[in-house]
């Protein structure tokens, strides 16, 4: 049976889900947050140590301004409203990405949330916000002054000393990585689901995990 320490998610399909329900894309993003909360709760129950969610990519700035503003507002409101519940569940938060492009208000909310949850031990939840893997790799190399090797390089990634994902789940039907954790996913088992993110459930997560446990992982060996 394969050990499981880290599951990553590309949460695709929120906007399409909202339009499918004859509402707007923002409604889909709102429902997508509810799915995140349910998956975190289920993951604590089955003792998955680390989750990573692709929340807002560095390419998402190309979207309509109204949608960008709503997404950033949703991120801020989520942390302000949920921080007590996050603490109660013992969730340790990390932010992966470049925060400089965000407003000072949102940066402060994110930094405070990371700080107050720093000692929590039930689960680590990484939120990739203004994240792009190509730039993460470039920044990591720039930080290394000497002794350029894989170990030193990986210490300078946003994930630092964390184990890399064992499983990547992408909802929404597309089969691509979209500039997400390109280095970290080298030996990750990839699962692409047609289901849109707001429809993703803990039962779907368990089905993926069951499939993962049956895979023979060789890591280059026979």
In the residue annotation, 12 being an active-site residue is answered as: yes
Q: Are 128 and 56 in contact (CB under 8 A)?
A: yes
Q: Which of 12, 94, 126, 166 is catalytic?
A: 12
Q: Which two tokens stand for residue 214?
A: 């049956």
> CA-CA distance, 144 to 209, in Å (whole number)?
36
Catalytic residue among 14, 60, 126, 130: 60
Give the distance between the most distant pair of CA atoms in the chain. 56
Classified as helix, coil or strand, 191 is: strand
DSSP 63-115: S-HHHHHHHHHHHHHHHHHHHHHHHHTTEEEEEES--TTS-HHHHHHHHHHHH
Sign of the Cα torsion 21, 27, 33, 38 reads negative
Residues labelled catalytic: 12, 60
């Amino acid at each position: 049976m394969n050990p499981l320490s880290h599951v990553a998610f590309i949460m695709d399909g929120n906007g399409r889900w909202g339009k499918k329900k004859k509402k707007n894309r923002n409604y889909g993003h709102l429902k997508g947050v509810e799915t995140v909360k349910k998956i975190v709760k289920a993951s604590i129950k089955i003792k998955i140590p680390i989750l990573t969610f692709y929340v807002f990519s560095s390419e998402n700035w190309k979207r309509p301004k109204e949608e960008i503003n709503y997404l950033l507002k949703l991120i801020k409101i989520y942390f302000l409203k949920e921080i007590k519940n996050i603490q109660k569940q013992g969730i340790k938060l990390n932010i992966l990405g470049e925060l400089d492009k965000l407003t000072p208000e949102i940066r402060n909310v994110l930094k405070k949330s990371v700080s107050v949850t720093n000692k929590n031990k039930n689960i680590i939840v990484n939120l990739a916000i203004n994240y792009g893997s190509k730039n993460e790799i470039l920044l990591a190399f720039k930080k290394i002054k000497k002794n350029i090797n894989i170990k030193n390089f990986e210490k300078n990634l946003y994930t630092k000393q964390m184990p890399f994902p064992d499983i990547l789940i992408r909802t929404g039907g597309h089969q691509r990585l979209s500039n997400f954790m390109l280095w970290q996913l080298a030996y990750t088992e990839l699962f692409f689901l047609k289901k849109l993110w707001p429809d993703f459930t803990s039962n779907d997560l368990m089905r993926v995990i069951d499939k993962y446990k049956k895979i023979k992982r060789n890591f280059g060996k026979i």
